[in-house]
Amino acid sequence: METCFRQLPLALLLLIPLILAALTAAGSEETPRPPVTRREDVTEILHGVAITDPYRWLEDQESPETRAWIDAQNAYTDALLDPLPHRKPLEARLTALRRFDVYGIPTARTNRYFYSRRRPQDEQNILYVREGLQGPERVLVDPHPLSTDHTTSVYFVDISHDGDLVAYAIQQGGDDQSEIRFLDVATGKELPDRLPRSFYEGLDFTRDRKGCYYSRLTPLVGRRVYYHALGTDTAADVEVFGKDTKPEDIISVRVSENGRWLLLTVWHGWSRNDLYLKDLTADGPIRPLVTGLNATIVARFADDRLIAQTDWQAPNRRIVEIDLEAPQPERWREIVPEASDAIEDYALTGGKLFVQYLHNVQTQIRIYHLDGKHIGDLPLPGTGTATVPYGRWDATEGFYTFQTFTSPPTIYRYDVPNSTSSVWAKPEVPLRTEDFEIRQVWAVSKDGTRVPLFLVQCKGLVWDGARPTVIYAYGGFNVSLVPYWSTQAVVWAEQGGVFVVANLRGGGEFGEAWHRAGMLDRKQNVFDDLYACAEWLIQNGVTRPEKLAVQGGSNGGLLVGVAITQRPSLFRAAICAVPLLDMLRYHRFLQGPQWIPEYGTAEDPEQFKTLYAYSPYHHVRPGEKYPAVLFTTGDLDTRVAPLHARKMTALLQHATGSGHPVLLHYETRSGHSGGKPLGQQIVDQAREIGFLLWQLGVPPPAAPPAPEPGPDGYPR
C-alpha cells in the first residue's frame, strides 16, 4: 500500500485523507463532518492594527493542496445535499417552469431581426436572424457543438448598421472573458478576424463597416480603447484612448447611428463619469466633452444631437441635451426635469423619447418629444417591470419586455407612428399567475429610513408566525431590484413559504441619493436596512428567526456574509453566492480595483476603518452559533475571486458552535457570469432551494404529476 501511495500524484496524495474522511462519514449513520482544514496564521500590520489570516494559503487557487481541499469540500457538500428528498420533486417542478421557449429582445437592422432563442430542449441560447418581421428564422450561431458539456455560450456584441455583419462573443462557462468573432450574415460564414480571449467592455462597428472600436481590460492595469480594421491582424490594432485612466476606471464605446461620432464614457465607479468625443468624419482628435463633474451622464445620439440622462443637480435624474460646441453644464438644455420618481432608463426610438420611471420600484414609461412635450404614456399590462422600447432613432418600431415575479418576460413590439403595442413573443409556462399574490410593504431602518420589500406568496396564505421565508437582496452599485420573473419565488410560494425581495440602500430604486446612502462609509446603512426588513417580517407575524433565510450573490454575497457575522441569531440559513468577504484584500484580485469607488480600499487609513468594521472574514467569532450556510463559487469566476468563498468556508467551519452545516459548492467549469447549461442550472437550483427547505424544517414537496403528451408525442 505504501508503494502505491508513493506512485500517486501529489495532489491525489493530499486529497485521499480528506475524501476518505468525508466519504466514511457519509456512509455512516452519523452526520458527515466537514474536512479538517490546515490553519497557518499569517499576520500583517495595517495602519497599526494586527490582522491575522489563518487561511491565506487557500488564496493559491492552483496549488495541489488547494485543489485537494476543493475536492474534499465538494464531496462533503454532495454527501449532505444529494440524499435530500427535496431534490427530485424540485427538479421536476423547476424543469417544467424553466424549459420553455425563451426569446431575447430583437435588434432590427434594415429588414433583418436579430435575437437569441433557447428552445425547451436547448441548454444554451442560440443566435438567430429573421428576414422580415414574420419571415423564417435562420440560425447564425449555435453554441451546442462548441463544447461537449454545453458550458460554452454565445451572445451578440454588435450588429452593423446595414445588418450585414455581426460581432458575437464566445464565453467559456461563467468566465467574464470572451473571444469575439465576426460573421457575414448573408453567407453565415465567419470572417478571419478574431479578437482574442479577454475582458471586453463593448464594441461598436463604424458606419462603413471598415472596422470597429472596442474597450478591453487588462487586470490591474486598466482598460484601453482600440481600433480594429477588418481584414487585418488584431495584433496590429491601434490604441486610441485610455492610457491616462486609472486601473479602476471603466471605459465604454459607442459610435453614433449616423456614423459621425465616437462617444467614449469613462466611469469612475458607479457615481461619476466623464465624456469624450471624436468626430470620425473629420478624423478629428479625441477631445474632452464633459469632465470633472461629481455626477453620472448616460449619453446617446439622436442624429447629431446628444441627449443624456444625468443626476447632475438632480438626484432622481433628468433628461438634457448637451450642445457639442458648448457642453458646459450651465448650457445644457433641460428636456425632462427631475421628478419625485427616479428615472431608471431612457430610449431614443422612432423620433421620440421614452423615459422609464420607477414609482415605488415599479415601472412607468412616459413618452416625450425632444422639445420636452409630454405626449403620452406607454400602457403596460399590469404592475411589474418593463424596459423602454429599444430601437433606432430613425426607425418606426421598438421592442420592450414586461415581467413580474410570477410571470416570465413577454416581448412586445411598439409601433411608434400608431402608438400601439403587439405581442412579439409570449412564453407559455405551467403556471396560473392568479394563484399568487405580490404585496409591497415598508420597513423602518435604524436611522428612520423607510425601506420597501416585496412579498411573494400563494393567494390567501395566512401568516402564522412560522412561514418559511427567504429574503433576497443586493444593496449596491446603483442596481435596482425591480420585480423580475423568479422561478424560486414561485416554487417557494408553492411550498407554503414567503419569498421576499428587499430594496436596500445602495441600489438605484430611488435615485442617486439612495445609491450614495449605501456606499463607502455609509455601507452599514445597507446592512441595517436588511435587518429592518427581517425584523418587520418577524414583528408582523410572517415568520420567526428559526424559519428565516437570507440569500444574495456578488455584492449581495457580501451582504449575506455581513448579516451572518453581525446578526447570526436573526437567520437560520443563508446562501452566499460568488461573494466578496475579505474586504481588506478584495482590491488586490481580478476586477477588484474597479470597485474601490464603491467600497473604498484598505490602503487608505480612513477607508480601512470602515472596511475593517464590517469585513465578514474578520468578524467570525469562535464558538458563535452561526446559521447553516451554503457558499457557491467556481474556478471561472474572473470577476470576484473565488478565494473569498474558500477562505470563509474554512473559517466558519472551524468557528461555528451551532452544529449547523457550513458547505461549499465549488464549480470547476463555471463562474460569475452564468454560462451553465440549463440542465445543470436546474440541478443546482434544486439543491439550493432544497438546502433552504431542509434547514428551515420544510418537508419535501410532492412530485408533480407527469405532463400529458401532446399530439406530437412530446409533453405539453
| Alpha helix (H) residue ranges in 380-523 | 487-494, 512-516
> What is the rounded CA–CA span in Å between residue 419 and residue 701?
46
Q: For residue 466, which amino acid is it? A: A
Three cell numbers, residue 354: 421614452
DSSP helix/strand/coil, 526: helix
> What is the rounded CA–CA span in Å between residue 444 and residue 458?
25
Q: Is residue 403 within 8 Å of 487, Cβ to Cβ?
A: no
Q: Is residue 672 flagged as an active site residue?
A: yes
Q: Is residue 438 within 8 Å of 456, Cβ to Cβ?
A: yes
554: left (phi over 0), alpha (psi -120 to 50) or beta: left
Q: Is residue 383 within 8 Å of 404, Cβ to Cβ?
A: yes
**Which residues on adjacent β-strands are paired with residue 439?**
455
- Name the strands in the sheet holding 222-229, side by side, starting at the edge strand that comes first in the sequence: 152-159, 165-172, 178-184, 190-205, 211-218, 222-229, 238-241
Q: Given 587, 618, 665, 672, which residue is catalytic?
A: 672
User: What is the phi/psi pair of residue 223, to 5°?
Assistant: -95, 150
Three cell numbers, residue 681: 442550472
Q: Given 407, 480, 554, 673, which residue is catalytic?
A: 554
Q: Is residue 619 flagged as an active site residue?
A: no
Cα torsion angle, 50, 53, 57, 60, sign: negative
Q: Is residue 252 within 8 Å of 299, Cβ to Cβ?
A: no
Per-residue b or e along 105-116, where b marks 16 or more CB atoms closer than 10 Å to that residue's CB:
bbbbbeebbbbb
Q: Which long-range contacts (CB under 8 A, 24 or more apart) does 520-525 make?
A: 520/598, 520/599, 520/600, 520/607, 520/610, 521/600, 521/606, 521/607, 521/610, 523/599, 523/610, 523/614, 524/613, 524/614, 525/445, 525/447, 525/449
> What is the rounded CA–CA span in Å between residue 708 and residue 50?
65
Three cell numbers, residue 365: 414609461
Active site residues: 554, 672
